[in-house]
C-alpha cells in the first residue's frame, strides 16, 4: 500500500496531464527529454529495488536491518552524483 498509492498518483497525474496537453494541441504524441539528473535518479531507484529484492530472496524473504545502511549509502551516492551533475555541467 505504501508503494501503490504514490505510484498510482504519479501515473494518473502524468497520464491526465499528457492527455490534456495532447488534446489541447491536437497531437498524438509529444517529445520527452530525459535529463541526466532524471536518468541518475532512475538508475539509483532501479538499483535500490534490485538490491532489496536480492536481499529478500537470499535471506529467506526477510530483509535484514543492516540493509538500512545500504539504503543510506545508495542515497548518499545519489546526492553526490546529483551535485556533480548539477554543478559540474556548465554550458
pLDDT digits (tens, 9 = 90+) for 25-82: 888 888 888 899 999 999 999 999 999 999 889 998 888 888 999 999 999 999 999 9
Q: Which three cell numbers stand for residue 14?
A: 502524468
User: Could you give the angle at the alpha carbon of 59 between the alpha carbons of 53 and 65, nearest 5°?
Assistant: 85
Euclidean distance between CA atoms 65 and 62, whole angstroms: 9
pLDDT at site 29: 82
The pTM of this model reads: 0.67
Residue 1, pLDDT above cutoff 70: no
> CA-CA-CA-CA torsion for 47, 51, 57, 63, nearest 10 degrees?
-140
Contact between 44 and 56 (Cβ < 8 Å): no
Residue 90, pLDDT above cutoff 70: no
pLDDT at site 76: 96
pLDDT at site 78: 95
Amino acid at each position: 500500500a505504501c508503494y501503490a498509492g504514490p505510484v498510482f498518483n504519479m501515473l494518473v497525474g502524468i497520464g491526465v496531464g499528457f492527455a490534456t496537453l495532447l488534446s489541447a494541441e491536437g497531437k498524438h504524441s509529444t517529445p520527452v527529454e530525459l535529463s541526466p539528473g532524471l536518468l541518475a535518479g532512475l538508475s539509483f531507484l532501479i538499483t535500490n529495488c534490485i538490491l532489496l529484492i536480492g536481499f529478500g530472496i537470499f535471506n529467506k524473504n526477510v530483509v535484514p536491518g543492516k540493509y538500512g545502511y545500504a539504503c543510506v549509502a545508495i542515497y548518499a551516492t545519489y546526492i553526490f552524483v546529483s551535485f556533480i551533475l548539477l554543478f559540474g555541467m556548465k554550458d
